[in-house]
Structure 1
Amino acid sequence: MNTPTAEAPKRKTRSLTFGLVDQLSTEIQNGTLNSGQKLPTEAAIMARFGVSRTVVREAISKLQAASLVETRHGIGTFVLAQTDTPSFRINPNQLGTLHDVIALLELRISIETEAAALAAVRRNEGNLRVMQDAMAAFLSAIEEGRDAIAADFQFHHEIARATQNNHFADMMNSLGSQAIPRARLETTSPEEPQRLGYLRRVHQEHENILNAITAQDAESARAAMRTHLSNSRDRHKKGISSHP
């Protein structure tokens, strides 16, 4: 069995990987990295983001899996063309208030509860591994007082991918990390005791979802996801009621 000391570097690498995936995905989606453009070299990405070669390679692998980039051996990695068909998109300026965030959570509840149920039926071992990696990265981030938003979003995105229905994954991909309410409204430090307690509850809710998906229990997965997102919605509703 691995000791906590041996596991810590692995958890940190996973968290850094998800953070880099999120940043590069955002640059692809907002056009900073254009379709057909060659990504900077591994060394350049390492220098810019302050990460290791392992993190860069794992991040590129995940971007490939999400059909955002492709690697041409001996040439480099290129941004894939995104569809020209008008697609659903929520802009950051549409998520500036508590009411906006609650509206998005209502949408996510309707979509992600069914995604969790489908994932429970259709997931494979690879899907389970990346969900477990995302959960480990989330826990590592909150225990070390780092931003856990990228790992949080990655967990939900991987559930969408586990449906084996690209429309669910595309929907989550179009939202990006802004789908996580903390990315838009919350500024308190993760080290604060109340904040840490909340994030640990989120981790437990994630664990409940993953356990149901692992057991291929569609109804329990649906219920666990609904509970998780409804708790977030209700928490933000309390924020409205406390600010007349």
Structure 2
Amino acid sequence: MPDTSRSPLRKRAPGLANDLVAELTRRILAGSILPGEKMPSESMIVREHGVSRTVVREAISKLQAAGLVETRHGIGTFVLEQHQREGFRLKSDTALSIRGVLELRMGLETQAAALAARRRSEAQLAAMRQALDDYQRAQGQPEATVAADIRFHRLIAEATGNACFTEVIYHLGSSMIPRTRIHPDEQGTTDLTRLAQAAIAEHEAIYAALRRQDADAARAAMLLHLCNSLERFAGETQT
């Protein structure tokens, strides 16, 4: 039976897939659907959330791009183990540099996201949507994805209405994006494009909370994104 403790997603066409991505990501990361378990069927998700099959398929596609699930043809969609995501073999100085910047961002951007949820304008929200769309369209173009990624985070800082947040984020520049700090000899055979896609669902969860003006959800979604970034890029080191 559907879980009636959760309210159905709002039935507005724009962003329905993003809302569904955020909700399914939350369940996966919270352990409500365990690694190796089969995701609910399309029909079950349609009934539970009141969305179309097209919306469900788009959401599942985004979860696949984020490395959260895999679809086995003729069987169903299954949750992946977190350790199945690719990692790097980083030198100590690179890993420490990435960790330092991400720890700074955890303190800064979680509060920025909460403030932005309360204070953002519709124009700012539209600009964030455009940045995320540009990010997804630019997959396979490293410079373009970095630019769109930075723009999304800068727009959140600007939406706080507090110039201090904006100044720090602008000062960090491209160094705020972990993959820009990886030297080619540390990358090895790691597919940076695939790792960039892992942030898509996390970005969408942040955006969905900002759109709803849910400060607590925005803070939590940003923290989750930055913690996952730290795990992806600084989990393994070599001296």
Bin for the TM-score computed over the shorter chain: 0.5 to 0.7
What TM-score comes out, normalization by structure 2 length? 0.56
Q: Cα offset for 1:114? A: 0.4
Corresponding residue number in structure 2 for 1:118: 115
Which residue among 144, 153, 165 is the counterpart of 2:162?
165
Q: Which amino acid aligns with 1:154?
A: R
Runs of 4+ deviating beyond 6 Å: none
Q: Is the 8 A contact 1:160 1:168 kept in 2?
A: yes
SS at match of 1:97: helix
Q: Does 1:185 align with 2:175?
A: no
| Displacement after TM superposition at 1:199 (Å) | 1.9
| TM superposition shift of 1:194 | 4.8
Which of 187, 209, 220 is the matching residue for 1:223? 220
Closer, same or farther: CA 162–186 of 1 in aligned 2, 3 Å: farther
Secondary structure at 2:236 match in 1 = helix
2:137 corresponds, among 128, 134, 140, to 140
Deviation at 1:193, TM superposition (A): 8.7
- Whole-Å separation in 2 of the counterparts to 1:231 and 1:156: 16
**2:105 is aligned with what amino acid?**
R
Mapped contact 2:179–2:233 kept (Cα < 8 A) = no
The one-letter amino acid paired with 1:104 is V
**Aligned pairs, how many?**
145
Structure 2 distance, partners of 1:224, 1:111, is: 14
Letter of the aligned partner of 2:196 in structure 1?
A: L
CA displacement at 1:101 relative to structure 2: 1.3
Q: Which runs of 5+ in 2 are unaligned?
A: 1-91
Task: Supply the AA of the counterpart residue of 1:139.
Answer: Q
For 2:167, give the aligned amino acid: D
Q: Which amino acid aligns with 2:201?
A: Q
Q: Matched residues in 2 for 1:156 and 1:128: separation? A: 12
Q: 1:116·1:225 contact (CA, 8 Å) conserved in 2?
A: yes
126-135 or 222-231, which deviates more = 126-135
Larger mean Cα displacement after TM superposition, 198-207 or 144-153: 144-153
Q: How does 1:98-117 map to 2 (within 5 A)?
A: 98-117=95-114
Q: Which residue does 1:129 correspond to in 2?
A: 126
Alignment partner of 1:212 out of 203, 209, 213: 209
TM-superposed CA distance for 1:235, in Å, is 2.1
Give how far 1:96 is off: 5.8
In 1, the alpha carbon distance for the partners of 2:173 and 2:190 equals: 28
Amino acid of the structure 1 residue aligned with 2:112: A
Deviations 1:66-108 (A, max 9, x none): xxxxxxxxxxxxxxxxxxxxxxxxxxxxx96211110110000
* Aligned amino acid, residue 220 of structure 2: A
2:149 is equivalent to residue 152 of structure 1: yes
